[in-house]
Amino acid sequence: MNARAKISFSNLQQEVIDRGLCARCGVCAGVCPVGVIRFDEERFPVLDGRCTECGFCVRCCPGGDVDLPALSQQLFASSYDPADLQGYTENLFVAHPVDQGVRFAGASGGLVTGLLLYLLEKGEIEGAIVVRMDPERPYLSQGTLATTAKEIRDAAQSKYCLTPSMEVLRELRTREGKYAVVALPCQIHGLRKLAAVDPKLAGKIACVFGLYCHCNLNPNGHLEAIQACRISLDEVARFDFRAHGWPGGFFVTKKNGTGVYLHPSIIIKDVMNVMFRLFGGWRCYLCIDALAEFADLSFGDHWAIDYPDNLGKMERCTLVSQRTARGLQFLERAAADGAIVIHPLPRERASKRILTMARGKKERSFVRLLRLAGKGKPVPDYRCAIPRPPASAYRKEWLFRQFFLLRGQRARRLVLKILFSPFGAFLDKVNTWRKRVFGDYHGN
């Protein structure tokens, strides 16, 4: 793009949003110097005011293109291989905060929250961009700038819902000091582009904490799940995506004080596998970054069940991919000061389950990218050759696509009703048995 040409929100609209490439990450709104980008009900950006044609939104947008090889050189002085499942990784750790309250309130082992609390206490950060549930409408997620320990604690837990939380970046413009950002892979791609576009704003980011991400859900996903269990949204006092122990699951606390676990007999992983097919964001299906490869530290579930020895006893822990020196420094200092406990994990012992997730996400995306590009359809440009996936990936992608037939409103309601019924639990058991017999199984 000619750097001198005026670039406006209408470029973002035409080149990204209208072409189905918007990741709904929120970076465009976060970098807009005049704050005229808002989000609609489905969390797509809309212009709400006069665009000054600065082009920041387009230049930071990760939806249409992101130069992953250049990012890899910039951040790690290393080449980039899209087929590498883990991305550039210096060390792997299994870790948890010492504070058991924080540990058990987290999605995995509470490490993200534990580290943020440590950095805040030590004055390394003034706050963090995180995702909480909206206090007014507690079934909706929203980005927020947490500047107190209580706000950071209240935002613990994963929200499996597309949330343009990077819009909160705009609050940093008028603030002093440094901030942590918790973000998904697509959001991190946008954050890394920001460094070249608005170095002053990017300079306020002390560290980027990435979350491993298989896929994210459209905003109506969990709402329809709640309603499929005959709970009205007006009754909801609190919604947790992962309550009730680890790995936990969808849990509604009602205004009358009672609580409902939406899928008592099905593990969250299996529920999410169905939800991703019914409600996955389109741009998520084209993403080739599973383990937040461009973060300082990336975090995911430690499936203790994958390990036969002492690691197998370490439940309620978070798995950490340490990628930058800054990330290592934060981890080591927090451990030395007794805020967290870290155990090194040799790279070759990386969780089988996580690698299966990363392989599944990458290979299915490779199939889609090649197929769509071959038909002249819009795909993101990662500035690298897309590897040719194995034949099994084509089969899996074909099966995945059959689920699209069920994405109509009535069909998906029916699927959810079945999923959350005793019959759904029975089908899940059959599926687990199928995986065990046909070898696609490791663990619980």
Residues within the interface to ligand FAD (CB under 6 A): 106-113, 130-131, 155-160, 163, 165, 182-184, 211-214, 216, 299-301, 318, 354, 357
Least distance CB 189 / ligand FAD (angstroms): 14
- Quick one: 7 or 205, whose CB is closer to ligand FAD? 205
Least distance CB 90 / ligand FAD (angstroms): 19
- Quick one: 9 or 241, whose CB is closer to ligand FAD? 241
- Quick one: 106 or 389, whose CB is closer to ligand FAD? 106
235, 251 Cβ separation under 8 angstroms: no
Least distance CB 1 / ligand FAD (angstroms): 29
Least distance CB 379 / ligand FAD (angstroms): 21
- How far is residue 297's CA from residue 210's CA, in Å, rounded to a whole number? 6
Least distance CB 54 / ligand FAD (angstroms): 26
- Tell me the three state secondary structure of residue 319: strand
Least distance CB 314 / ligand FAD (angstroms): 13
Least distance CB 268 / ligand FAD (angstroms): 9
Checking DSSP bridges between strand 141-146 and strand 249-254, what pairing results, if any? unpaired
Cα 213 to the center of its chain, rounded Å:
4
The DSSP string of 9-60 is: HHHHIIIIITTT-----SHHHHH-TT--EEE-TT--EEE-S----B-HHHHH
Least distance CB 238 / ligand FAD (angstroms): 15
Least distance CB 34 / ligand FAD (angstroms): 25
Least distance CB 13 / ligand FAD (angstroms): 24
CA neighbor of 216 nearest in space, from 62, 400, 23, 52: 23
Q: Can you tell me which residue has the tokens 């390394």? A: 124
Q: How many CB atoms lie within 10 A of CB 172?
A: 23
- How far is residue 183's CA from residue 299's CA, in Å, rounded to a whole number? 10
- Quick one: 7 or 92, whose CB is closer to ligand FAD? 92
233, 134 Cβ separation under 8 angstroms: no
- How far is residue 436's CA from residue 444's CA, in Å, rounded to a whole number? 10
Checking DSSP bridges between strand 205-211 and strand 297-301, what pairing results, if any? parallel
Cis peptide before 247 (omega within 30 of 0): yes
- How far is residue 5's CA from residue 2's CA, in Å, rounded to a whole number? 5
- How far is residue 287's CA from residue 186's CA, in Å, rounded to a whole number? 8
- How far is residue 354's CA from residue 375's CA, in Å, rounded to a whole number? 32
- Quick one: 9 or 160, whose CB is closer to ligand FAD? 160
- Quick one: 98 or 418, whose CB is closer to ligand FAD? 98
Structure tokens at 184: 């998904």
DSSP structure class, residue 404: G
- Quick one: 51 or 181, whose CB is closer to ligand FAD? 181
- Quick one: 70 or 335, whose CB is closer to ligand FAD? 335
- Quick one: 228 or 287, whose CB is closer to ligand FAD? 287
**Within the chain, what is the greatest distance between any pair of CA atoms?**
61
26, 184 Cβ separation under 8 angstroms: no
140, 134 Cβ separation under 8 angstroms: yes
- Quick one: 212 or 382, whose CB is closer to ligand FAD? 212
Least distance CB 391 / ligand FAD (angstroms): 24
Angle at 244 between CA 227 and CA 320, to 5 degrees: 110
